[in-house]
Amino acid sequence: MGKTGYFTHRDFWKHEMGRGHPECPERLDAIEDRLLSSGVGDALERSEVPLATLEHLLRAHTPEHVEHLQSLAQRLVEDAPAGGPDHAQIDPDTSMNGFTMLAARRAAGAAIAATDAVMAGELENAFCAVRPPGHHACRDKAMGFCFFNNVAIAARHALEHHGLQRVAIVDFDVHHGNGTEDILSNDPRVLMVSIFQHPFYPFSGTEHPAPNMCNVPVPAYTRGMDVRELIEAMWIPRLEEFKPQMIFVSAGFDAHRDDDLGQLGLNENDYYWITSRVRDVARRFAHGRIVSMLEGGYNLDALARSVETHLRVLAEV
């Protein structure tokens, strides 16, 4: 079997949104510690992470969006010597510091590099342990801890640079990936399947989704076995009919029962099962090609255990 790549970079630790914010650098520390103590890290191919180019970003975002974020970052850096603010506020939950643009471009760059390595056959699949996450970032707006939409950028790169005709996106974060839907809605080359708590932030995904969107909203306190049944009944037939040539995963682990930012009841066994089903589809139709991007997951211990489980399936260890 092929190798599993692991893409991360120290720039991801430099982005932070203030003391006590749940989307914190310690999330990546928890993952790294778990991969070391479990030995799973030994099975992974660590790879270089470049910066995404403007061309990459514009596959998913408007020039105005990129320019706005760049201007905010530049102002933070220029005002810092004179005692300026440490953060620029985007929305009530989202802010950027002087390193956020670097981290966000590097996160999108990880998605691009992983896609290139998998398409080249150097890796069978890959996981990108990135910050900031991406699936709430819309074409023209940052929100929900997200600045650039990593999976949408990677999916468009696979289609437009590598010439694939069909790619799928799987999103199992507790929150609906509204940004990914905003960017890729009505693109017949993309099928997005997602499951998310509803009603819940960002209060989207249920009103007249496009034909290429398979959205599965579930109420709070839904347990893992119910989620599995819904995935088997609703995702898998759509994926098998679509026959994706590559699968991208928005791997949010905040639907874990121990995570206070959501109210769903998944555990590591459920993530093992979901990842296995996605891998099975990828092996049947896409030569095993999967690129998985970290999204949510804010209980540090649950996040670390869940990522370990996700990677055990991908790397078959």
Supply the residues annotated as catalytic: 136
Q: Is 178 exposed, middle or buried (0-12, 13-18, 19+ CB in 10 A)?
A: buried
Asked whether 23 and 298 are in contact (CB, 8 A), the reply is yes
The two structure tokens encoding residue 57: 């970003």
* C-alpha closest to that of 131 among 170, 171, 99, 176: 99
Contact (Cβ atoms closer than 8 angstroms) between residue 131 and residue 295:
no
Measured CA distances, 293 to 6, 77, 108, 210, 214 (Å)? 10, 28, 10, 23, 19
CA 95, 93, 175, 189 dihedral sign is negative
Secondary structure class of 279 (helix, strand, coil): helix
Nearest Cα residue to 135 out of 152, 122, 123: 152
Residue 91 and residue 106: Cα distance in Å, rounded?
22
Neighbours of 232 (CB within 10 A): 12
